Amino acid sequence: MAGGSAADLAPTAAVKIFSAGTAGCVADLVTFPLDTAKVRLQVQGESKDLPKGQKATYRGVFGTIITIVRAEGPRNLYNGLLAGLHRQMCFASVRIGLYDTMKQLYAQGAENPGLGTRLLAGSTTGAMAVAFAQPTDVVKVRFQAQAHQPENGSVKRYSSTTDAYRTIARVEGLRGLWKGCLLNIARNAIVNCSELVTYNIIKEQILKNKLMTDNMPCHFTAAFAAGFCTTVVASPVDVVKTRFMNSVPRQYGGGANCALTMLFKEGPSAFYKGFMPSFLRLGSWNIVMFVSYEQIQRAVVRLQRSRESRFRTV
């Protein structure tokens, strides 16, 4: 997927795993406020209906960001960042770093794997990543969803990332840390396929038709398209996943019950709550992540080759 600028650039699986995890962290650092706004918009209205005539607390992505900054301070835009970085080091490294390896495994040596092979590889690495990173995702969502406003009687649900892991494990058991795991597998199978397969195919077509060379503008274009496609396809599952992960014990009977509750209580539009911040976040996240991923891979490979050439001359 990386496709080096030179023919001899061939990153190993280990380089891809490292590059993907690092690029995921860079992308999270840049786009985390957008992700927090998305979560707040997604969970808004899940507990009770707004009184007649009362406006929603959060309105639009930038309005939500401004509201959080004014009411809670700018630091709260980065609530759950540590868990988010934990998540990316476990998650992106597996789902993105192992994608090419899994695709080659399923292709059984074929030079041009078909769409089915690509989708299968994306689904597999997405599911594998959830198995590793689910507790970090639960903690990240819980932190992002909590509004800390002491003047309104609102208190922090958890005092720190470590406290969140411990409290969830103690109060809800290990099952609490893997809450919404099946929903997350479904979401990430969709997200992984949409992101990686779209990016892969668009980049290949750009290079094949010689519209661009294998450089940053090419990576930017493919990543932007991947972000938009992913948001459209994955938003409903993402909203249900966020609601279910953030819920208190026994609030919902399961992922299906959460989805049905949303449908009957708030209507079909609830499944696209936070769509604009989702798109802004996924679009910008994909651009930063894929551009970083390509550049980090190349830098690591160049470093490896430089060290090898120095050893040969000694």
Write the pLDDT tens digit of every residue in 20-50.
Answer: 999 999 999 999 998 888 888 777 765 555 5
Which pLDDT value is given to residue 46?
55
Which pLDDT value is given to residue 154?
54
Structure confidence at residue 5 as a pLDDT band (50, 70, 90) = very low
Q: How far apart are CA 289 and CA 275, in angstroms?
A: 20
Higher pLDDT, 12 or 9: 12
Which pLDDT value is given to residue 173?
87
Conformational region of residue 149, where left means phi above 0, alpha means psi within -120 to 50, and beta covers everything else: beta
The residue length of the chain stands at 314
pLDDT (mean) for 263-284 = 84
Mean pLDDT taken over the chain: 83
Nearest to 289 by CA among 213, 191, 208: 191
The answer to the question of residue 278 being in a domain is no
Domain that holds residue 269: 186-273
Q: Which residues contact 1 (CB under 8 A, 6 or more apart)?
A: 99, 100, 196, 199, 200, 203
pLDDT (mean) for 83-103 = 89
Higher pLDDT, 55 or 137: 137
Which pLDDT value is given to residue 293?
94
The answer to the question of residue 138 being in a domain is no
Which range is least confidently modeled, 31-35, 71-75, 297-301, 309-313? 309-313
Q: How far apart are CA 158 and CA 78, in angstroms?
A: 14
The answer to the question of residue 225 being in a domain is yes
Q: List Cβ<8 Å contacts ≥24 apart for 46-50.
A: 46/243, 46/246, 46/247, 46/262, 49/265
The answer to the question of residue 11 being in a domain is no
| Neighbour count for residue 306 (Cβ, 10 Å) | 10
Structural domains in the chain (count): 1
Reported as a single tens digit per residue, the pLDDT across 114-129 is 889 999 999 899 888 8
The answer to whether 11 touches 301, Cβ cutoff 8 Å, is yes
Best-predicted range by mean pLDDT (63-67, 238-242, 290-294) = 290-294
Which pLDDT value is given to residue 250?
79
pLDDT (mean) for 254-274 = 87
Which pLDDT value is given to residue 112?
81
pLDDT (mean) for 291-311 = 86
Evaluate if residue 221 carries a pLDDT over 90: yes
The answer to the question of residue 312 being in a domain is no
Q: How far apart are CA 35 and CA 61, in angstroms?
A: 10
The answer to the question of residue 246 being in a domain is yes
For residue 299, what are the CA distances in angstroms to 4, 66, 98, 186? 10, 38, 19, 34
The answer to whether 99 touches 122, Cβ cutoff 8 Å, is yes
The answer to whether 106 touches 121, Cβ cutoff 8 Å, is yes
Evaluate if residue 285 carries a pLDDT over 70: yes
Dihedral sign computed on CA atoms, order 283, 288, 289, 294: positive
Reported as a single tens digit per residue, the pLDDT across 177-201 is 888 788 778 878 888 888 898 999 9
Which pLDDT value is given to residue 1?
56
Nearest to 189 by CA among 128, 117, 114: 128
Q: How far apart are CA 101 and CA 187, in angstroms?
A: 22
The answer to the question of residue 148 being in a domain is no
The answer to the question of residue 9 being in a domain is no
Structure confidence at residue 58 as a pLDDT band (50, 70, 90) = confident
Percent helix, percent strand, percent coil in the chain, to nearest 5: 75, 0, 25
**What share of the chain in percent tops pLDDT 90?**
24
Evaluate if residue 3 carries a pLDDT over 80: no
